[in-house]
Each structure stands twice: as C-alpha cells, then as structure tokens.
Amino acid sequence: MKLTTQDIISFKGLTNEDVEKIFSEADKFEKIAKGEKPSELLKGKILGTLFFEPSTRTKLSFKSAIQRLGGSTIGFSRPEVSSVAKGETLADTIRTVEKYCDAIVLRHPQMGSAKLAAEVSKIPILNAGDGAGHHPTQTLLDLYSIRKNFGSIRDLQIGLLGDLKYGRTVHSLAYAASRFENKLYVISPEGLEMPNEIVNDLKNKGREIIESYDLKEVLPKLDVLYVTRIQKERFSDASEYNKVKDSYKINLELLESAKSNMRVLHPLPRIDEIEPEVDSSKYAKYFDQVFNGVVVRMALLSLLM
Amino acid sequence: MKLTTQDIISFKGLTNEDVEKIFSEADKFEKIAKGEKPSELLKGKILGTLFFEPSTRTKLSFKSAIQRLGGSTIGFSRPEVSSVAKGETLADTIRTVEKYCDAIVLRHPQMGSAKLAAEVSKIPILNAGDGAGHHPTQTLLDLYSIRKNFGSIRDLQIGLLGDLKYGRTVHSLAYAASRFENKLYVISPEGLEMPNEIVNDLKNKGREIIESYDLKEVLPKLDVLYVTRIQKERFSDASEYNKVKDSYKINLELLESAKSNMRVLHPLPRIDEIEPEVDSSKYAKYFDQVFNGVVVRMALLSLLM
Amino acid sequence: MKLTTQDIISFKGLTNEDVEKIFSEADKFEKIAKGEKPSELLKGKILGTLFFEPSTRTKLSFKSAIQRLGGSTIGFSRPEVSSVAKGETLADTIRTVEKYCDAIVLRHPQMGSAKLAAEVSKIPILNAGDGAGHHPTQTLLDLYSIRKNFGSIRDLQIGLLGDLKYGRTVHSLAYAASRFENKLYVISPEGLEMPNEIVNDLKNKGREIIESYDLKEVLPKLDVLYVTRIQKERFSDASEYNKVKDSYKINLELLESAKSNMRVLHPLPRIDEIEPEVDSSKYAKYFDQVFNGVVVRMALLSLLM
C-alpha cells in the first residue's frame, strides 16, 4: 500500500485515494499512539526534524508519531545554530541531513521551500509549513477529525470561522473539505473575509460555498464549526476590533442553537475565542484533534518510510 | 505495587509507605541505570519534559531514567518557542501535550503550577520544581542517598549546612528527613537561618531540630552533612560575606574531626563550598548522589507509567 | 577487538592499527546507517552530547550514529542553560553527566578541554572539537572517505586547498594523511599558507609535502582534492581577496585537467568555493563524505561503549 507521491508538500498533491489510504492507516494506530502497546514498525528508522522557525506543537506531534512506532529523531529548531548561519543553502542542508536519516519534516518561513527540498532530496520530505504556503499535515488531521466524529468526510455542512483572510489553515481546509462534497460556510468579520480568488476558484470548480458575517444565523445548520483566532493586530483601529470580537466568541449559550451532534474544532493554541466552559461539553473536540494529529502523522510516516 | 497518588507534586503528598516502595523499586534498577543491561520495561512509552525554565541537570536525569527503561522523551526547554509565547494557558498546554505522551515532568517558575497541571491532566504529572514551591524528586534522591550509605533513613544525625533561608532543597529535606525519626542540625551564618516557621512547625510536630552557627562544634556528631551554597548576593555588604564564608567551607582538615563513616552530600552544582581535595575522600558522596537521582526517577516512572 | 585508548582526544593518540580497526568496523555498518536494517548493538546505551558551542552537523552525525545502533542521547547545545552558567567547572560537569550515560561527546571552545575531561571521566570521552585543538572524528572521516574511494589510504597524491593557515581541519589531515605514505600538496593564496612549523615538522619526519600557490598546475597530479573555504575576513583589504578568490574556485571547466578518477572532498558547509554544477559530476564526493562520518562514528561508539 503506497501513496502516489513520495513527498507530502501540499494537500493538493494527494489524490482522494491517497487521503483515504492515510486515514485507514491512521485508524490502526490508535492503541499504539496511546502508549497501550509498543510498536517496532519503524525500529532503527530516523526522522529528521528541521525547524527553521519554531512550531513546538507540530514538532512534538511528529516526534511522538515516530517514537510511538519505534523510531527516533534528529534535528534542530533554531537555524541560528546550524550551518545555515554560515551561509549554507537549503539545498545543501537537505543533501547533508538526508545522510543522517530516512525522512525529513521541514518547517521553513519561505514559501516553496518544501518543494525545493523535495527536488534535491532522495528521501521523503514532509512539509510542516512553508511560510504562507502549505501545511498539509494540519489539513489532513483536520479532515481526519471530521471523519472520526461523523464516520465520513462527505456531505457535511462545515463552517469556517474567524480570520479567513490571513489564515493558511482555513484556506487549505476550504479546498480540502470542498473536494469531498461538503457544503462550506465561511464566516468572518468584515475585512477578514476568505479571499475572493479562493471563493471564486471554489465556485468555478462547482463547489458549494456560502459567505456570511453572522455566526448566529449559520450555526444551527452546521455539522462542524472550525474556529480560528481573530487577531487584534489585523484591525486598523481598536474600536473596530471591539465591535466584532464578541460575535465570534464561542460559549455555551451560543451553542444552545447548534445541532446536538455539531462538533467544534480548532487548530490551537486557543486564546479566548472559545470559552473554557465549552471544553467539557459534548461539542468540544479540539483536544481530541491534537491526538488525531499524532495518528495521522504515524500513518504518513509508516506509508512513506 | 502502586503508589497512593498518580502525581508527584510534593514530598508531603507521599506516605512513608510510598517512599519505601519507591526506594525498594529504585534498588532494582542499579544495573540498568549503569548501562550494564538493557530494559524494555517502558518500551513504547513517552515522557513529556516541559521545562518552562532551564534545569539541565534535572532534565538530563529524567531523560536518562526513561531512556534506560526503553522509553523516550518529547518536550521543550524554552517557553519562548512554544505556544505559551502566543498566550496559551498552562492548562491548555497540558491538555495538548498529554495527547503526545504518557507522563509529564513539569518545571515551571510559578508556585502551584504542578498542582494545577495535575488537576487538568489525565496522565501523571511529576513536579520538577515549581518556583519557591516543591521539588520532590530532589528530596527523594537526597533521602535515598542517605539510605544507600547507611542502610536506613532512620535514627541518624543529619546536618543541613549553608543558606537555609532561601534554599528550597533544604526546607523540603528538613521536613522529609525529620519524618523518619532523624535528628536535624541546621547550621548557617547569621541572617541565613532556617525560617522560624519551619523550625517551629517541626518542633510542634515533636521532631528533633537543633540550630547552630558553628559547624566545627556540630560536625563530630553528624552521620550526614548536607552542604548547600552560600551566595554572596544574599549579603547586604561584601565584608559580612567575607567574614563567614570560610567557616562554611568543607576541606580535609575540617573533616578530620568527623566520624569515620560520616558522609557529605550536596545537591550540586558545587562552586567553592567543598574543596576539590574532598572529592576523592571516603566522605564525598555527592557525585554518587547524582546517580541515585537516576534510579529514583526510574522507580517513579516505572510505578506511575 | 579493542582500541589502544579508551578516549578519542586527537588523531595523534591513535595508532595506525587503531585507525585500521576503526575503518574495518565502519565498513560493517553501511546498511544499518542507511536504515536498511535495525541494530540492537548499543540498545540501552546512552551517549552524552555536551556541546558548549554549536556544531549542528557534528551533533546530528553522532546522534544518527548512536540511534542507528539502538542507543539514544542526552545532552545540551547551549552552555548558558546548563549548570556551567552557575559557575560549575568542566570537571564537575563531566563527573555529573557521566552518571547519566555511557560515553560523552564533547565540543568545547577551549583547547585542551577534551583531554581534561578524559582525565576526570570514568567513561569514554570523544573530542568533537576543542577550540584551536583537535577534531579527530573529522580527520577519521576524511581519511575513511579517501579509503572508500581508492580502496586504500596509502601512496596517493593528496591536495589540500584553501585557507591552510587557520583551518584546524587541514592541519590535522596533513599530519594524518602523511602518516600513511601519501604525498601532500598544500595549495593556498599568499598569506594563508600552511604554517611553517607544520610544514617543517612534517619534512623533518621524512614526509613528502609540496607547497604551491597554483591550483591549475598541481591539479593534474592529484588523486584527491580536499577543498576548504577562503574567508573574505582573513584578508586585510577586499582587493586582495578579489584578486585570489577565483583561482581557488572549483568548477567543471577547471576539473577537465584532473585525472578521471580524481575525487573532490570538502568538510562542509560549502559556500561558493565549489560551484553547484560540480555536485552531480563523478568528482564530487563531499556529500558521501557526510554519510561516511556516520559509519565512522558508529565504529568508534561500537568499539568504545
């Protein structure tokens, strides 16, 4: 069982069959990911974790994934201490590090860096974020979390909430979720709407996407509400921010109007866009989503390494 | 064989039976801790090491402990690169990281943080220091070192030397050691005495504690001398410091008046409060104490994970 | 099969028989180093990696080596977060860390530090660079790379190119390579020549060493060209640098005059002293050299631990 690609650069680079394969594989790893039984599947294998900018959560998730499968990691999380500081090119860093390991997870501030790395590398490259570019393992875990809660990633009403203008995560998820016949609701304050080119591109592809400023109105229709943070810094003046912020906060009162099996997801970290009182409700699935990130990454590593 | 608690927050939270269990368990791990035989006891298990402030020694000791038992670690040692920097609460960090591992060692500058972490966590929390609060694995290894040298942790004459006012380590050890019918001598310069509330609290509990400024006088009575550093910065003027510092320095000449089986311990790092000439004497047990820290932590991990 | 030393402090401290033993051992680890089969040779063993100054490449190489053999690492790469920051001596750090592991790789800015560490340590010390002192595993991997390309480390014409005045790597390699009846050509710009005391010392030992400023003239004679970087900062004025830099750049046109089985090595990172067009030519062996560093270090660890 192989994927159609040896590198995971973007969600777009995966076929629907690839996605289904990854998810079926992920299902098998639940017990191992919980530490309930040890695995030797990737014994002796080494994953390189090259983080040219910090991303603790993603790094820990990948480390947990490979270690649960009996493998280990090498890497760095501070470019200033690596040869990069001496002026080495990314291509040379990759050609060097590939001699130490069997696959590389790359986080790099520059768009296109993961693709470049894959071009020079003989071992699989997994993109863990390349600037404003892609972060496909996040999209995969988001989608897998939907599948785990609904048994399917098709024919659902999915709301994307928050800063839809700058959020790479929601752009990728919009493309990914709509590929599987879901209906999208994109809900944001004025000025932070999902970019027109994305909305139009999706519509041209014949996908269902509805734009809204009104969470209260849309909420009762949703199966999934994917919440992201609205950063104060995005607004030109504070009064604009204060006007809108409370309309996009999730609390138990608001959730009364949701379907009983509606589920809330969030890429985390969460600041104050979801009230802590929601955490223990049936709606909250954002911490389980963290765990899903581990099994999805285990699936990718087991398929690629 | 289980402890009465799933978290190690303070020494106080352990019963005497817990302590005995941990020590008996630790005895079993000597060969494994020395790398003389491999263990698979915690194979597939992952320990999260969350160090919100640096503590290299404690971190390396915990890493050695889990790795000797066949497990591995994930974690960070710089909060500035974690989601914390984005404003995430400690509770959310714990709820996230617990999805990646099977137990968490937490070092955090804020008193009470370990207790808070244990309240939200589904997996065991081991407090590796919470500001001016507790550092129970240090106390356990100190006590275990005494046991290893005397075959018992009871009915000994134990001297605590140095800065007894600010030293969290000696406060915990005073409570812990006196719980096992030992007689305590607390020896410090003026101004750095063991706080009155601790001395009185111990006396009220019926424990034996004797205060002194004169190491030379007390030394011949002692079975154990636990040395800690006196920091120059604690004195209002340098002349005060210079007056006292030499009375609290351990050298071979001073040790001539000690019992032949007296043992010197120190939490390390040592600066100049023990002369290097002492290191190779029969009295010096502070580097063995480092090793004891590993087996004690192996015992804790094996009992909790 | 043992070495004549328990520590690897300098190449000079190894006999020719030691070197041959290390290389024979390294040959065995090729498949394991490529992740093609797992090994349990050092299962349960821990390597301490104490990097008092950054050296990502060396650290990753050692980590890969021990992990490929089933062992693991503990360590630090920033002295400021260790007990050293509190004023601990290197001797005390070593006596502490040796309780956590089975061998220590030490990188330290001070010349002689590795020797000092070996004097106090009960476990093997591997010097990974001590300031202007030695870096013996680099020399071993350089020599092993020559052996791998020519089946022998004897009777070859070896050119050392670049900054030969300040380069620790080329000084060590000059001594090491000439010990095995090779003929050395030392090629540098004026002002960056191999130091006279080294050249004279080698000549007095009866070894063949030829000095040159003219790469073009020497190149056709060489079996090996070992390239190092010429740093602009070494020149008093920029015009001096600009005058020479192009005469020491390796490109395909230049290589037309080389023997067909001539091989180019480089300790990396490479900046612009070798043109990227050379990378895919038969001459380029500098990335394979990185891999050789892993098997050589595996050999050392397996012989010492």
C207 is in an annotated binding site: no
Q: How many interchain CB pairs under 8 A, A with B?
A: 72
DSSP secondary structure code for residue B194 in this structure: P
Q: What integer is the mean pLDDT of C258-264?
A: 98
For strand A103-108 and strand A46-51, is the pairing parallel, antiparallel, or unpaired? parallel
Residue A42, min C-alpha distance to chain C (Å): 9
Stretch C12-17: mean pLDDT: 96
Domains and CATH numbers, chain B: 11-133+291-304 (3.40.50.1370), 137-286 (3.40.50.1370)
pLDDT of residue A242: 80
Q: At what angle do helices A286-304 and A16-27 cross, to 10 degrees?
A: 110
Whole-number mean pLDDT of chain B? 94
Give the C-alpha distances (Å, rounded to integers) separating C203 from A13, C15, C133, C206, C212: 61, 20, 21, 5, 15
Strand order in the sheet with A125-130: A72-76, A46-51, A103-108, A125-130
Give the other-Cβ count within 10 Å of C295's Cβ.
Answer: 27
Q: Which chains touch A (3 or more CB pairs under 8 A)?
A: B, C
Apex CA B285: angle with CA B282 and CA B286, to 5°? Answer: 140
CB pair distance less than 8 Å for B81 and A54: yes
Q: Is residue A285 a known part of a binding site?
A: no
Q: Which of C72, C270, C294 sits opposite A99 (nearest CB)?
A: C294
C contact chains, 3+ CB pairs < 8 A: A, B
Mean pLDDT of A247-276: 95
* Alpha-carbon distance A71 to nearest alpha carbon in chain B (angstroms): 10
CB contact under 8 Å between C290 and A72, yes or no, is no
Average pLDDT over residues C128-157: 96
CB contact under 8 A, B269 and C87: yes
Smallest CA–CA distance from C231 into chain A, residue: A86
pLDDT in tens, A38-54: 999 999 999 999 999 88
* C44 interaction partners in chain B (CB closer than 8 Å): 32, 35, 37-39, 68, 70
Whole-number pLDDT of residue C81? 56
- Residue B254 annotated in ligand binding: no
C86 marked as part of a ligand binding site: yes
Whether B246 has a pLDDT exceeding 80, the answer reads: no
Determine the angle formed by the axes of helices C16-27 and C286-304, rounding to 10 degrees: 110
pLDDT band at B299 (very low <50, low <70, confident <90, very high): very high
The three-state secondary structure class of C55 is coil
The ipTM is 0.95
Range with the poorest average pLDDT among A190-204, B121-135, B221-235? B221-235
**Cα four-point dihedral sign A172, A177, A179, A185:** negative
Give the best residue of B30, B51, B67, B273 to mutate against chain C (max C CB count within 10 A).
B67
- pLDDT confidence bin for C11, thresholds 50/70/90: very high
Summarize pLDDT for C31-61 with one digit per residue, the tens.
999 999 999 999 999 999 999 988 889 999 9
* Average pLDDT of span C62-81: 90
Burial group, residue C14, by CB count within 10 angstroms (0-12, 13-18, 19+): buried
Is the pLDDT at C80 greater than 70? The verdict is no
Q: What is the pLDDT of residue A81?
A: 55
Residues A118-177 have pLDDT tens digits of 999 999 999 999 988 899 999 999 999 999 999 999 999 999 999 999 888 999 999 999
Residue B53 has pLDDT above 80, yes or no: yes
Q: Which residues of A touch C287 (CB under 8 A)?
A: 95-96, 99
